[in-house]
Amino acid sequence: MHSSIGRWFEAQVRPMLVAHYALDLPRVQACYAAAADSLADEPDPDLRAAKRLRLECYRVIVLDVLGQADEASAAYRAVLADCAADQPGEYSRAMAATVRLLMRLHADCRGTQELTRGELQRLADAVPEEDRGPNYWQELACWAFAHDEPALLEDAYSFFTTSRGADMADFMFCRLRLMHHMLAGEATPATVLEAIGRVELRVQLEDFQRMLLPAIEERGLLTPLVQAALNTKHAELKA
C-alpha cells in the first residue's frame, strides 16, 4: 500500500471509526462527509480511487454495526460494483481486490451474503502479498471460525503471534486466541474470562456475543463465573 494512503486513513478515516466506537451515528456521518470531501485534494487518480474504495469499505462496516441496514446494504452493493469496475492504476487495483474480499467476508459474517470456501480462495488469491496485513487476517480468522476451518484459523493465528504490531488491540488478539483454542478443543472458562476482561467498548461486547457466545455455550464454557463476568461487563459499559 502506498504510504500516502495510510497517512490519509489515519487523518481522515480514523475519526469515523472513533465515532463508531462511541456509537455516535451523527458524528460518523459528519466524519464520513469530511473524509469524502478530502478526496478532492488527491491529484493522483490512482491514489484517489484507492482511498475512496477504502473509505467506502469502512463505511459499510460501520453502518451495519450501527444498525443502518438499508443504507449499509445499498453502500455494500455500490462498493462491490466499484471493485468490479476498471481501476486507474496499480494501487486502486490492489485496493479493489482487498476491499472486495473484506466486503464479502463482512457480508458472510453478518449473514447477508454467503461466501463459500472456493470463492474465498479465489478472492484471497487476488490480494497482493504485501497487502495481507492485520485487517486481512482478522477477517479471515472470523470466517474460518464461523465455518470450522481450523487450518485457515491457524494461519491467521500464526500471523499475529509472529507479526503482532502495537496497533493490535488486546481484545482483538484475545478474541483470536479464544477462537483458535475453541476450534482446537483447548478452550477453558479461563480463556473466555480473559477475552471478556479485555472488552473495553460496547461494540466489542456486542461483537463477542454475536460471534462467540453461541460457540462458548455449545462447548459448555458458559459457566456461572463466565456468565457473571458477562453481566458485570454489561453493567460497566452501560454505566
Going by pLDDT thresholds of 50, 70 and 90, the confidence category of residue 164 is: low
Q: What is the pLDDT of residue 74?
A: 95
Domain boundary among 94, 110, 132: 132
- In a shared domain, residues 88 and 166: no
Specify the residue for cell string 485496493: 95
- In a shared domain, residues 124 and 142: no
Domain boundary among 111, 132, 153: 132
Going by pLDDT thresholds of 50, 70 and 90, the confidence category of residue 171 is: confident
Q: Which domain holds residue 230?
A: 136-239
Our CA angle for 63, 166, 8, nearest 5°, is 50
Going by pLDDT thresholds of 50, 70 and 90, the confidence category of residue 169 is: low
**Residue 163 predicted with pLDDT over 80:** no
Q: Of 72, 198, 14, which Cα lies nearest the Cα of 212? A: 198
- In a shared domain, residues 223 and 142: yes
Query: pTM score, two decimals?
Result: 0.89
- In a shared domain, residues 162 and 181: yes
Domain boundary among 115, 132, 149: 132
Beta strand residue intervals within 14-149, DSSP E: none
DSSP state of 76: H
Residues 185 and 221: their CA atoms lie apart, in Å, by 11
Backbone dihedral angles phi then psi of residue 87, each to the nearest 5 degrees: -110, 155
**Residue 2 predicted with pLDDT over 80:** no
Q: Of 152, 112, 130, which Cα lies nearest the Cα of 104? A: 112
Express each pLDDT in 83-142 by its tens digit.
Answer: 999 999 999 999 999 999 999 999 999 889 999 999 999 999 999 998 888 889 989 999
